[in-house]
C-alpha cells in the first residue's frame, strides 16, 4: 500500500516550485499526496521567513500536528524552506516531535532524510549551502501534470541585500541557469501542453548580468518568444535597478510577453530608499515606469510597498502616497515593516509607534484600493483575450483563465477550451477576479 504525505506551502513562488519538486521526489519513494495531515504518514511544511508573522505561522502549524503525533508516534514531521534554512538543526532541539529539517539548497536530500527516519527513527537535518556548480545541476525540473501555465526558474538567490530583507541569507548567492537549458526546458514543456511560462527568480531581471558569457535577460526573452506553440510569457520578480532600456523595449516588441509587470518600489521616499539599499531614487523609478508606458501603453503595473520602515516620517510616507497616485498600480502588496534579525535594518533605531504605522498602512490601503478598483472597473463590458487554464472553483461548468494583466476571469464554458485563448466579455468585476461570458 502507498504511504501518504501531506504538504503545506507558504511564501513566494520559489517555495511553490520547490514544493512541486518535493511532490515528485516523494512519489519517487512510494508516497502519494493527500489533502489532510490526519490521513498522512508524513507531513511537511515548506516555510517562509520574510516577515515575523510568516515565521510564527510555522510554529503554530507544527503545534497542530503534535496531537496527531501523540496518537500516532510513527508519523514523520518535517520542515523545509526558509525558516528551516535559517534555524537549521536548532529546530530539532526546540521541537522534540520534529523529525527532519531541510534547507533551501537541500530539497534533493529529502528522500534520504525521510528514509532514515522510516528505517531507524533517526532524526536529521540538511541545511548547508551548496557551491555554484552543484546548484546549477539541481535547478528544479518537475513533471508536468496537465498544466497550461508553468513557472520556470531561471535564476536563484539574491545578492542585493536590501537592508530589511532576509532572502539573501536564506536563499544564498545569485546563480543564473544556462540559457540553452532554459530554452530546452520550455520547448519540452510546450510539447507537453504548456501554453504560458513565468520565468522565476528573486531578482529575475539581473539574470546573466554577473556572467560575461551569458546572454542578457532581454535576449533570453527574445529567444523564448520565438518558441513555437508557446502563447504567453511572463517573469517575476523584477528589481527596478535592473530594468534596462533593452528589457523595457521587449514590452513593445515581443507579442507573447504579457502586458503586466510586478515592479516592487518599496517606498516613494528617496531617503528611505537609500536606507533600504534599493539602488534607485523615486525619479529613477518613475522614469522607467514612463518608458514602460510609452513602449506599451496598455501595460499594467503591480508593486510591493513596505510601510513603517525604521525612521519613516510623515513626509516620507506622503512621498509614497504621491508615487502610488502617479503610477496608478493595478494592485499592490502592502506590508508593515517587520524587523528580521541579522539584517542591516534590524539595527536601525525606530521612533514611530506601531499605532502610527498601522494608521499609515490603512491610509495607503484605502488609496490603493480606490485606484485598483477604478482600474479593474474600467474593464467592465470589454471583450478581452483569456487563456483558459482549467475548471474554476466557482462552480460546475465554470472555467477560469487569465487576461494579459494576470487577472483571473471565471466564465461558463466547456473543458474543450482549456489551453486556448478565447475572447471573453467582462460582465462583473470583483475584488480579485472578474466574471465573464463567452462571446
Q: Which residues of the chain form contacts with ligand SAH (CB under 6 A)? A: 50-51, 164-165, 167, 202-203, 237, 239, 264, 266, 304, 306, 335, 337-338, 340
Instruction: Tell me the closest approach of the beta carbon of residue 302 to ligand F3S, in angstroms.
Output: 16
Inter-residue contact 65 to 6 (CB < 8 Å): no
**Beta bridge mates, 234:** 198
Q: Is residue 63 helix, strand or coil?
A: helix
In the complex with ligand F3S, the residue whose CB is nearer, 61 or 223, is 61
Q: Does 12 bind ligand F3S (CB under 6 A)?
A: yes
Q: How many residues does the chain have?
A: 439
Q: Does 82 bind ligand F3S (CB under 6 A)?
A: yes
C-alpha cell at 373: 478598483
CA distances from 397 to 4, 61, 392 (A): 31, 35, 8
Instruction: Tell me the closest approach of the beta carbon of residue 239 to ligand SF4, in angstroms.
Output: 5
Binding-site member from 4, 167, 189, 323 for ligand F3S (CB under 6 A): 167
Q: Does 175 bind ligand F3S (CB under 6 A)?
A: no
Instruction: Tell me the closest approach of the beta carbon of residue 23 to ligand F3S, in angstroms.
Output: 17
Q: Does 170 bind ligand F3S (CB under 6 A)?
A: yes
H or E element that contains 169 = helix 167-171
**Beta bridge mates, 79:** 45, 101
Instruction: Tell me the closest approach of the beta carbon of residue 48 to ligand SF4, in angstroms.
Output: 12
Instruction: Tell me the closest approach of the beta carbon of residue 340 to ligand F3S, in angstroms.
Output: 9
Q: Does 98 bind ligand F3S (CB under 6 A)?
A: no
Cα Rg, the chain, nearest whole Å: 22
Inter-residue contact 425 to 382 (CB < 8 Å): yes
Inter-residue contact 154 to 165 (CB < 8 Å): no
Quick one: what does residue 142 bind among ligand SF4, ligand F3S, ligand SAH, none, with the CB cut-off 5 to 8 Å set by partner type? none
Stretch that binds ligand F3S, among 9-17, 31-39, 138-146, 331-339 (CB under 6 A): 9-17
Quick one: what does residue 170 bind among ligand F3S, ligand SF4, ligand SAH, none, with the CB cut-off 5 to 8 Å set by partner type? ligand F3S
Instruction: Tell me the closest approach of the beta carbon of residue 158 to ligand F3S, in angstroms.
Output: 8
Instruction: Give, as one character, the DSSP assignment of residue 208.
Output: T
Quick one: what does residue 337 bind among ligand SAH, ligand F3S, ligand SF4, none, with the CB cut-off 5 to 8 Å set by partner type? ligand SAH
What residues make contact with ligand SF4 under the rule CB under 6 A? Answer: 158, 160-162, 165, 167-168, 202-203, 239
Quick one: what does residue 11 bind among ligand SAH, ligand SF4, ligand F3S, none, with the CB cut-off 5 to 8 Å set by partner type? ligand F3S
Tell me how far apart the alpha carbons of residues 198 and 54 are, in angstroms, rounded to a whole number. 24
In the complex with ligand SF4, the residue whose CB is nearer, 344 or 429, is 344
Q: Does 15 bind ligand F3S (CB under 6 A)?
A: yes
Q: Is residue 405 helix, strand or coil?
A: coil
Quick one: what does residue 384 bind among ligand SF4, ligand F3S, ligand SAH, none, with the CB cut-off 5 to 8 Å set by partner type? none
> What angle (nearest 5°) sits at the alpha carbon of residue 256, between those of residues 252 and 260?
65
Inter-residue contact 5 to 42 (CB < 8 Å): yes
DSSP codes joined into one string, 273-337: HHHTT-S--HHHHHHHHHHHHHH-TT-EEEEEEEE--TT--HHHHHHHHHHHHHH--SEEEEEE-
Burial class (CB in 10 A: 0-12, 13-18, 19+), 57: middle
H or E element that contains 253 = helix 245-253
Instruction: Tell me the closest approach of the beta carbon of residue 74 to ligand SAH, in angstroms.
Output: 37
Q: Does 155 bind ligand F3S (CB under 6 A)?
A: no
Residue numbers of the site for ligand F3S (CB under 6 A)? Answer: 11-12, 14-15, 48-50, 81-82, 166-167, 170-171
Amino acid at each position: 500500500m502507498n504511504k501518504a504525505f501531506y504538504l503545506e506551502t507558504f511564501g513566494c513562488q520559489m517555495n511553490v516550485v520547490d514544493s512541486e519538486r518535493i511532490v515528485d521526489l516523494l512519489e519517487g519513494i512510494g508516497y502519494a499526496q493527500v489533502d489532510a495531515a490526519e490521513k498522512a504518514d508524513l507531513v511537511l511544511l515548506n516555510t517562509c521567513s520574510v516577515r515575523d508573522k510568516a515565521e510564527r505561522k510555522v510554529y503554530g502549524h507544527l503545534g497542530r500536528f503534535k496531537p496527531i503525533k501523540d496518537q500516532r508516534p510513527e508519523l514523520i514531521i518535517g520542515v523545509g524552506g526558509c525558516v528551516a534554512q535559517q534555524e537549521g538543526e536548532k529546530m530539532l532541539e526546540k521541537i522534540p516531535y520534529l523529525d527532519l529539517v531541510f534547507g533551501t539548497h537541500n530539497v534533493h536530500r529529502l528522500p534520504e532524510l525521510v528514509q532514515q527516519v522510516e528505517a531507524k527513527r533517526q532524526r536529521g537535518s540538511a541545511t548547508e549551502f551548496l557551491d555554484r556548480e552543484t546548484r546549477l545541476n539541481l535547478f528544479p525540473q518537475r513533471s508536468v501534470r496537465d498544466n497550461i501555465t508553468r513557472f520556470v526558474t531561471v535564476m536563484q538567490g539574491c545578492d542585493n541585500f536590501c537592508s530589511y530583507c532576509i532572502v539573501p541569507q536564506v536563499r544564498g548567492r545569485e546563480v543564473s541557469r544556462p540559457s540553452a537549458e532554459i530554452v530546452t526546458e520550455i520547448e519540452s514543456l510546450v510539447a507537453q501542453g504548456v501554453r504560458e511560462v513565468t520565468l522565476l527568480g528573486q531578482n529575475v531581471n539581473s539574470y546573466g548580468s554577473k556572467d560575461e558569457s551569458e546572454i542578457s535577460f532581454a535576449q533570453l526573452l527574445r529567444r523564448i518568444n520565438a518558441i513555437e506553440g508557446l502563447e504567453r510569457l511572463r517573469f517575476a520578480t523584477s528589481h527596478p535597478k535592473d530594468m534596462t532600456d533593452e528589457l523595457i523595449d521587449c514590452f513593445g516588441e515581443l507579442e507573447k510577453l504579457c502586458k503586466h509587470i510586478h515592479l516592487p518600489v518599496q517606498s516613494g521616499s528617496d531617503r528611505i530608499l537609500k536606507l533600504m539599499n534599493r539602488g534607485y531614487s523615486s525619479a529613477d523609478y518613475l522614469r522607467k515606469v514612463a518608458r514602460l508606458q510609452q513602449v506599451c501603453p496598455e501595460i499594467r503595473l503591480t508593486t510591493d510597498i513596505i510601510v513603517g520602515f525604521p525612521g519613516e516620517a510623515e513626509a516620507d510616507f506622503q512621498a509614497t502616497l504621491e508615487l502610488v497616485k502617479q503610477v496608478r498600480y493595478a494592485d499592490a502588496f502592502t506590508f508593515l515593516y517587520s524587523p528580521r534579525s541579522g539584517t542591516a535594518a534590524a539595527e536601525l533605531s525606530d521612533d514611530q509607534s506601531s499605532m502610527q504605522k498601522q494608521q499609515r498602512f490603512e491610509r495607503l490601503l484605502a488609496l490603493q484600493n480606490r485606484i485598483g478598483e477604478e482600474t479593474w472597473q474600467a474593464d467592465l463590458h470589454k471583450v478581452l483575450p483569456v487563456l483558459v487554464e482549467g475548471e474554476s472553483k466557482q462552480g460546475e461548468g465554470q472555467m477560469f483563465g487569465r487576461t494579459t494583466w494576470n487577472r483571473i476571469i471565471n466564465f461558463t464554458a466547456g473543458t474543450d477550451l482549456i489551453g486556448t485563448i478565447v475572447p471573453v466579455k467582462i460582465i462583473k468585476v470583483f475584488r480579485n477576479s472578474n466574471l465573464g461570458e463567452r462571446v
